[in-house]
Amino acid sequence: MQSFYTTIFKPKTIFMKKILFVICVVAFAACNNETKTTEQTKTDGTTAAEVKLPFELNSPYANWSIGSNENVAVSMNALKAFIDKDFDALASTIGDTLRIDFDNYQATLSRDSAMSFFRNARAGYGDIKLSMDDYVSVISADKKSEWVTLWYKQISTDAKGVVDSMNYVNDIRLVNGKMVQLNEKGSRFMKK
């Protein structure tokens, strides 16, 4: 009876176990693949309606995508021109007007007034050194809004010789390759 059982039932049991194993692997792969698709859909911004955000936007989401490196170059060249006191090069990066939004100072200035502002601001510093951490250029889906964000550390010496360092984030809006808005945020390092 033992050999009859072995010859008839045991091979079918092994065969069934193999079939069950293959079915489980296929089912697991299908479930795993479906999970990845759902996660990708939720993280790429195409199904933002499925994600409950804690705050509503003042205007609809602009569906940003990566912008041009040309705008990054304009933004960095403007910053370098400020550091190097090359005000002609700086003026060439600015549109007809420039909206400035700094801590305790907000204004919309003509190009000439903006240049006067930057000359006066630069006169307050001796040496400025900069270490660029990162940047990103983005453009809205409707192509109406282009921004560059620069993250950097600035080490400066003022006119009295006092050295200071700060982290900065500059958000720069460009139109036709010219800066029209500059939002600057700074964070001082803690004194030890």
Q: Is the pLDDT of residue 6 over 90?
A: no
The 3-class secondary structure across 53-66, one letter per residue, is CCCCCCCCCCCCEE
Domain of 166 in residue numbering reads as 65-188
What would the pLDDT profile of 20-62 be if each residue is shown by its tens digit? 454 544 455 555 444 333 344 444 554 555 788 899 999 889 9
What would the pLDDT profile of 108-146 be if each residue is shown by its tens digit? 999 999 999 999 999 999 999 999 999 999 999 999 999
Our count of domains for the chain comes to: 2
Cα 55–chain centre separation: 20
CA distance 135 to 141: 20
Position 69 in a domain: yes
- State how beta strands 125-139 and 65-66 pair: antiparallel
Does residue 90 share a domain with residue 44?
Answer: no
pLDDT of residue 189: 81
Does residue 96 share a domain with residue 13?
Answer: no
Q: Are 148 and 174 in contact (CB under 8 A)?
A: yes
Q: Are 93 and 77 in contact (CB under 8 A)?
A: yes
Q: Exposed e or buried b for every residue in 65-95, given b needs 16+ CB within 10 A?
A: eebeeebbebbbebbebbbeeeeeebeebbb
Q: Tell me what percent of the residues of the chain surpass a pLDDT of 90.
A: 66
Radius of gyration of the chain (CA): 30
Does residue 99 share a domain with residue 164?
Answer: yes
Position 57 in a domain: no
pLDDT of residue 35: 39
User: What are the phi and psi torsion angles at 59 (to 5°)?
Assistant: -135, 165
Position 39 in a domain: yes
Q: Where residue 64 falls among pLDDT bands split at 50, 70, 90?
A: very high
Position 110 in a domain: yes
Does residue 93 share a domain with residue 11?
Answer: no
pLDDT of residue 25: 47
Does residue 30 share a domain with residue 90?
Answer: no
Q: In the predicted model, what is the mean pLDDT of the chain?
A: 83
Position 156 in a domain: yes
Position 55 in a domain: no
Lowest mean pLDDT among 36-40, 79-83, 170-174: 36-40
List % helix, strand, coil for the chain (3-state, nearest 5): 40, 35, 25
| CATH (domain of 131) | 3.10.450.50
